[in-house]
Structure 1
Amino acid sequence: MPTEPRSAADGAPRRVLLDPAGPVLVEGPVEAVLPDGSTVVSDRFMVALCTCRRSRRFPFCDTSHRRKVRSGAAREDSPDGPPDA
């Protein structure tokens, strides 16, 4: 028997942290509904949901996004950034 999401039951909103360079962080516990209609549950206090779809544990992030360098990702203040002119 499906249950209502915890935030709906206790009235407290869930905090969601958006990071353009990484996963979406959601205060747990979390129940995620996948495109095929199946659900996965995590009871952790903070859950990282994959947005790049590279994770082998999708919908949960396994930090696979760190392996691919995005174009324009090098920053001037980074040790690996562009050389000084």
Structure 2
Amino acid sequence: MTEPIEFDHPDVVLCPGGPLLLRGDHVVEDADGTPHRTTRPVSAVCRCGKSADQPWCDGTHKVLPDKLRP
């Protein structure tokens, strides 16, 4: 039987009420189908749909009422 692979950290982290965090190299496709390569060690992808910097999170979710947060 093979041993499961263990990682020091997950590549994707879902932040409750906030963004999706990506660690490492990823390509994120925006609503128009345009691919965007991550360029930082950790990138935050918007989940609320209100960021002015789509597909990236700009923190707008913090000012939304709880019922509108992801």
Q: TM-score, normalised by structure 2?
A: 0.71
For residues 14 and 33 of structure 2, what CA distance do their matches in structure 1 show?
A: 24
Q: Of residues 18, 21, 32 in structure 2, which corresponds to 1:22?
A: 18
Aligned to 1:36: 32
After TM superposition, the structure 1 = structure 2 runs for residues 5-84 of structure 1, keeping only pairs within 5 Å, are: 15-71=11-67
Quick one: percent identity of the two aligned structures? Answer: 31
Q: TM-score, normalised by structure 1?
A: 0.60
RMSD: 1.9
Following superposition, the deviation at residue 51 of structure 1 comes to 0.3
Cα deviation code 1:5-41 (max 9, x no counterpart): xxxxxxx9x6110122110001023211223221112
For these two proteins, the number of residue pairs brought into alignment is 59
Q: Which runs of 5+ in 2 are unaligned?
A: 1-6
Computing the radius of gyration from Cα coordinates, the structure with the larger value is 1
Q: Which runs of 4+ in 1 moved over 6 A?
A: none
